[in-house]
Structure 1
Amino acid sequence: MISQIEGTIRRLLENRVELDVGGLTYEILLPSRAYQQIRAMDPDQPLRLYTYHYLEGGMAANPIPRLVGFVGELDREFFQLLRTVKNVGVKTALNSMILPVGKYARAIEAEDVTTLKSLPEIGPATAKRIIAELKGKKLVKFLIAPAEEGAEEPLPAVTGYQAEAAEVLMQLGKSRTEAEEWVDRAAKEHPEIQASDALLHEIFRLYGAP
C-alpha cells in the first residue's frame, strides 16, 4: 500500500494533481482543502502527500486503483475517520473536506448541523449521522487542531484552578502542552466555571477521560 508519495508537480487541477515520481506520473485525487494548500506552495519544490489507496468500483470485475492525497497526516486520519460513518463513501468524505480539520471536528462536536449540511455531499441526514457516530472521544486529536491556517496562538499560562485541572490531566498521562490546551479550550467555552473539579468534569464530558 502506498502511504506517502513525493514528486514534482506536472499539473495541478482543482480536484487532482499529477506528480512526476522518478519518471512515472501518478494521478492523485485531492480534497478542496489540499488543492488550496498546494496552490500556495512553490510549484518548483518537491511535493509530499500522505495518501489513501482504494479501488474504485469495489468488487466489480475491473476496479480502478485510485490514490487520494493530503498535505497533512492529520487530514488523512480525519478522512479515514469520516469513512467509518455509515453510508459515507470516499467521494462524500473527500468532497466534504473544504474546511480545516479542526473547524470540521468542532462543528461535529458542537452538533452544528447547519455548518455540516452546508458542506458538499453532506445533507441534513448525513450531518446528523456523522454527529451521532463521531462526537466524543474519536474527535479529541482533531478538536485541538487549528481552526484556520496560522490561527493558533500561544496558550496563556494557566494559573489557579486551571493549573490544578491541568496537573490532574498530566497525572492521567497527558503531556503538559495537551493538558493546557484542553484546559484553555474548556475555560474559554465555559467562563462561568471557576473551580478545577467542575472544569475537569466539563473536559471529561467533551473529550472523555484520558
Structure 2
Amino acid sequence: MIARLHGIIVEKIPPEIVLDVAGVGYEIQLPMTSFYALPEVNQSVTLFTHFVVREDAQLLFGFTERNERSLFRVLIKANGVGPKLACTILSGMSAGQFVQAVMHEDITALVKMPGVGKKTAERLVVELKDKLNELDATPSMPTPLSGENAKQAILSETMSAKDEAISALLALGYKRSQAESVIKKVASDNASSEQLIRDALKSMV
C-alpha cells in the first residue's frame, strides 16, 4: 500500500498530475477539490494516497487532506460505488459538504453528481450515515486558484484550456454534451483549465 507521497509536481493536466518522487514519476488522479489546492508546477507537495489494483490496471488516487482520503475509502466500500465515482463525488463537493448531505439526507444535493441517481443517493444515505460520524462534517469550499497559480496552470501542447476542461469532466463521468455545454457557459478569456473546471462544477451543484 502506498499511503503517502512527497515530491515535485512535474505535470498538471486535470484531473491528473505526475509527481516526481526521487526520480520516479507517479501518475496520480485527484478529485478536483484536491486539485484546486495544489501548488504550481515545479513546487513540492505531500499527498495522501490510495492505491487500487485491478486486473487491467493499477491506479493511484491522491488527496491533499487526510479526511478526504478517509471519505474516499468509505465511499468505495459502499454498494455500487467504485473509485471513479467516489472521485467524481469528491470533485463536486468537499468531504465536509458530502458528510453534511448524507447526515441531513439531502438527496437533492447528491443526485447532482454524475452517476448518482436517486436510488444510489438513497443507498449512500442508508449505508454511510452511521459510518461518517468520525469524519469532519464542517463544510469547506475548494481553495480558489490565486491569480499566480492560474497563470502557472500547465496546458497540454495540443489542447486548449477548454479542451482540457472538457476532457477532465469526461474523466469525472460527465457526458460529452453536458461537459461541452457547461464549459461553453462558463468560458471566459484567459481562463485556465482549472478555473473552467471549478466554475463548471460550481454551476452544476
Give the structure-2-normalised TM-score: 0.65
2:95 matched to 1:101? yes
- Larger RCO of the pair (alpha carbons < 8 Å, separation 6+): 2
2:124 matched to 1:130? yes
| Alignment-derived partner of residue 20 in structure 1 | 20
| Alignment-derived partner of residue 144 in structure 1 | 137
| Alignment-derived partner of residue 43 in structure 2 | 45
Q: Distance in 1 between matches of 2:31 and 2:76?
A: 14
| Alignment-derived partner of residue 114 in structure 1 | 108
Give the structure-1-normalised TM-score: 0.63
Q: Distance in 2 between matches of 1:92 and 1:49?
A: 20
Q: Distance in 2 between matches of 1:42 and 1:35?
A: 10
| Alignment-derived partner of residue 57 in structure 2 | 64
Return the offset for 1:146. 3.7
**Native 8 Å contact 2:94 2:139 kept in 1:** yes
2:2 alignment partner, SS class: coil
Q: Deviations over 1:63-97 (max 9, x none)?
A: 32111000011100000001111011111111111
Which runs of 5 or more residues in structure 2 are unaligned?
144-205
Q: Distance in 2 between matches of 1:21 and 1:101?
A: 27
Q: Distance in 2 between matches of 1:120 and 1:96?
A: 8
Q: Distance in 1 between matches of 2:119 and 2:112?
A: 12
Superposition pairs of residues 156-175 of structure 1, within 5 angstroms: none
Return the offset for 1:149. 5.8
AA in 1 matched with 2:25: T
Q: Distance in 1 between matches of 2:137 and 2:109?
A: 19
| Alignment-derived partner of residue 34 in structure 1 | 34
Return the offset for 1:147. 3.1
Q: Deviations over 1:106-160 (max 9, x none)?
A: 0011111100000132111111110010113x2123243343368xxxxxxxxxx
Return the offset for 1:35. 1.2
1:121 alignment partner, SS class: coil
Q: Distance in 2 between matches of 1:33 and 1:147?
A: 10
**Native 8 Å contact 2:95 2:137 kept in 1:** no
1:135 alignment partner, SS class: helix
Q: Distance in 2 between matches of 1:111 and 1:144?
A: 14
**Native 8 Å contact 1:5 1:48 kept in 2:** yes
AA in 1 matched with 2:3: S
How many pairs are equivalent? 142
